[in-house]
A and B are shown apart, each in its own frame.
Chain A
Amino acid sequence: MLADNNINSYLLVGAVLFVCGVICMATKRNGIGVLMGVELVLNGANVNFVAFSKFTRLGLDGQVFSLFVIVLAAAEAAVALAIALNFYNNHLTIDVDRASKLRG
């Protein structure tokens, strides 16, 4: 099935990556871990884009979109790491469960 080299295997990889990322975000209390989960989700999406680019009439647009996502992920990581550093400065931890100041 894998040798068929059709779109489903790519989508499967993407789905696995996405689910791993979601589980990572949902379970990790470490802020950096959550960040990693986000990266996994984004890259799962990227794999989907590229797969669609190759196997459908989407063309190069899918690849360009995945490039955008990579850039966005980088920017997001920079911002999120800055937040994490500041949070550590204030709370001496990066446990996201402690970040409950805005709780209703």
Chain B
Amino acid sequence: MVGETLRNLLMIAWLLPLAGFAVEIFGGFWGTRQSKLAAWLAVGCIGAGFLCSASALVIWGQSNGWAALHRGGHGDHGAAGHDSHEHDSHGGAEGHQDPHSSPPATEHGASEVNSAAATHLLTVAPAVSAAAGMLIQEPVAADASAGEAVSGQTVFSGTIYSLATFGDLQLSIDYYIDSLTLVMFTMVTLIATCIHLFAMGYMSDELTEEYVDHHAHLSNGHHVHRPGRFYRFFAFLSLFCFAMLGLVLAGNIFQVFIFWELVGICSFLLIGFYTERKTASNAANKAFIMNRVGDFGFLIGLMVLWTFFGTFQFGSTYAADGSVAQAGLFEMVHRDSHGKLLTDAATGDVIITDASGNAQLKADGQARTIPYYLLVVAGLGVFAGCIGKSAQFPLQTWLPDAMEGPTPVSALVHSATMVAAGVYLVGRFYPMFVQEVLLTIAYVGCITLFMAATIAVVATDIKKVLAYSTISQLGYMMLGLGVFGWGAGLFHLITHAFFKSLMFLCSGSVIHGCHHEQEMPKMGGLLKKMPITGLTMLVGVIAISGLAIPGTPIAFSGFHSKDAVVASALGFVKANPGHFLLFFVPLLTAGITAFYMFRLWFFTFIGKPRDRHVYDHCHESPAIMTVPLLVLSVFAAFCAVGGEEGVLYKLITGDQPAHIAEGIAGGLSASGITLPNAHSIHAPSESGGLSIHAQAGAWALLAAFAGALIAYVLYGTELVNLHEVKQQLSGAHSFLMNKWHFDELYDGLFMRPSHVIGKCCAWIDRTIFDGILHGAAQATVVVSKWDRLFDENVVDGFVNLLARATYSVGDSFKTIQTGRLRQYVMFIVVGVVALFAVLFSTFPR
């Protein structure tokens, strides 16, 4: 029953934006261009979706007694959990007061009231849900194997609608609801609501019958004049929300793929929103095409999965009597208590198991198996899709160009949610990844985070800096996931979504206030002009830099999540010293991150105004844009309170994959990677020093402070002449300004060769194929000329001759026809006599 309630709530949250999209795109066409109705409709849809998601989270927590928060003997966090939900479900609506700043007693009082209300929402007591397992609900293996007290189910999966059945292949719309789904739903809907509100202010200059696009020029040098497209923007945003929520809710990998493509097309439409600008349409194409490259790998992964597992579903499906009808993908790859895969002793192939961990048998009694290397291929294939979507190395170049879209789009699609979908999928699909794939993920993340951070250091476009920082942070998430820090990576995903959307909206506010000026060298000293934007931006900057006051629990969200990632990396490196780069690169990059983020902030908000014109015309944004900033800044600062002992982390990791759950001893895998023991990361080391976690946190904090300090010295004060520094480092500077020459590299590797090949093909076409065709045509003409001669002379001649002969015979017979009756009689007589003569002479007696 809880499962159905959750399913229905999330489905409402999922489908409302689709309904909104339909109304906006068709209704907006007939409405007036000055109407804000479409925006309010979109806000209403996504806001209602947020309420549904938040209440679903509360219902889910109530039904299992907040089991996720009680794990690992930290039972005293239950109250904080309630508090968080009070915060979650009302933060968006009221949103200005931070509950954490109020005294604890008040907090508890409020949470009691709220949970009572939530209980009323539940029509069925939680205990019933456990018994009502007829639908497709199973406790995931994690809870069973970890042997912890579970007061209710936490994972719900099932089929919403069966699309089609092709032989054994069933295509259906499924749902898979666990703690990660619910947290993602709440996060996406909350951020999307804030961004919708912000966009209403940001896009207001589209509310006109004739919009003049100053960045798009016609061939005669004039600006492009076009009707405003306010309603269309919000329709696209709604469609995007629908696709993103569908991706999160999806219960099978094929459905994920469908919505994956749908968010891709939304991204395409939104990047190319100013489609008259050449740069925008190019960027949209680039994003779409680079994503297709990754999706090709995704498709290969899907094929491998389908061939060997025969299903796309994550969770098991259940028959009416409660027995397992079809084991889900996650049950089919079984790991023992040491985290090892169940393999065939003779061949080394991985054995495919049923829901209870026993090998599935084929018709001939043999166990079903999949070759190990194909499991690697499937994992790498799916990860290739994630590389494209999350802009990881080597497909990272599309994301900075995607900043051509309006800033709310950058905030929602290209930093907070869609690009995080790749990370989400890695997290969701984690049970299927083997060690080699995870190592690849870790190294790809490691390369990406360093490369993007270095480019961000020299970028001058305020949005480009944020774009590279997004790529870099996504690299952190991938790294975290790759080094077995499942919770850490996804934790960073959630906190990053909040502070990055906040910073993008702040940059949007700056751009709006400065009349679409994006170059930081023309800004400076804007804090006086836009205090709210500046201060909320500072919150985001501190959060992403991971600053904290040492020795106290006072820290913003980014500190906790980045700490978790770096700690996971350090744990991994301690267990596998050969992969030391996986720790040192992110540590160094933590410092670079702090540097470039503070550089951005100092550049924009502090110092002397560099462009008098921009400064004079700059103004603070209206309330509809600043209120979302305030709401998001509260979340950016406090959503991760408590770090890995806090509510958010525990909620996310409530249903973490079985084989990385705490309590599993590190084991050797086929590839020689040692799994770090999750306990050992947090426990103090034997030598009595700091725990791995504390060590990593201290190093990261040091790096962040160093980065921030350097940024302050360089950009906050006037101690150093920046031009001299730039000239001395001109080689490195130009290398970074050219984005490590990746665009040139891809130009040389793919574009030029394809142009050359295209030219060759054109030449072959023009000379050989066209030559053959022309020759054939000419031959045909010659043949038909001959044919014509033959026709005219021989065939026609014969026919004419016949006709002429017939005519002349007839003509000569005409003279016999005299009209004289007596003559005719004579002819008859002569004829008869002649006949007789012939008869008698021929046939004599």
Q: A residues near B, CB below 8 A?
A: 22, 25-29, 34, 37, 96-97, 99-104
Contact = CB atoms under 8 A, between A and B. Distances in A.
A16 to B, nearest CB: 15
Nearest to A27: B822
Nearest to A19: B829
Contacts of A97: 820-822
10 contacts: A26-B829, A37-B825, A96-B820, A96-B821, A97-B821, A100-B818, A103-B819, A104-B813, A104-B816, A104-B817
A99 B813 CA distance: 19
Interface string B232-266: 00000000000000000000000000000000000
Contacts of B307: none
Contacts of A29: 822
A99 B815 contact: no
Given A22-B829, A26-B829, A99 B821 contact: yes
Contacts of A27: 822
Contact of A103 (B813, B817, B826, B829): B817
A5 to B, nearest CB: 24
A102 B817 contact: yes
Interface string B783-826: 00000000000000000000000000000011111111110011
Given A27-B822, A37-B825, A104-B817, 6 more contacts: A22-B829, A28-B822, A99-B819, A99-B821, A100-B818, A104-B815
A30 B797 CA distance: 50
User: What 4 A-B pairs come out closest when comparing CB atoms?
Assistant: A100-B819, A104-B817, A103-B819, A104-B814
A101 B180 CA distance: 112
A26 B820 contact: no
A85 B143 CA distance: 127
Contact of B819 (A22, A37, A101): A101
Q: Could you say which interface size class chain B belongs to? A: 10 to 19
A29 B815 CA distance: 21
A12 to B, nearest CB: 16
Nearest to B821: A96
A26 B825 CA distance: 6
Nearest to A102: B819
B821 A103 contact: no
Contact of A96 (B813, B817, B822): B822
A28 B817 CA distance: 19
A26 B818 contact: no
B818 A103 contact: yes
A17 to B, nearest CB: 14
Contacts of A28: 822
A28 B822 CA distance: 8
A59 B78 CA distance: 139
A10 B821 CA distance: 30
A25 B818 contact: no
Contact of A26 (B816, B817, B826): B826
B364 to A, nearest CB: 98
Contacts of B819: 99-103
Most B CB atoms within 10 A — which of A22, A100, A104?
A104
A102 B248 CA distance: 101
Nearest to A103: B819
Contacts of B825: 22, 25-26, 34, 37
Contacts of B815: 104
Nearest to B813: A104
B821 A34 contact: yes
A25 B816 contact: no
- Most A CB atoms within 10 A — which of B814, B818, B819, B825? B825
A47 to B, nearest CB: 17
B160 to A, nearest CB: 95
A97 B820 CA distance: 5
A103 to B, nearest CB: 3
A80 to B, nearest CB: 11
A48 to B, nearest CB: 13
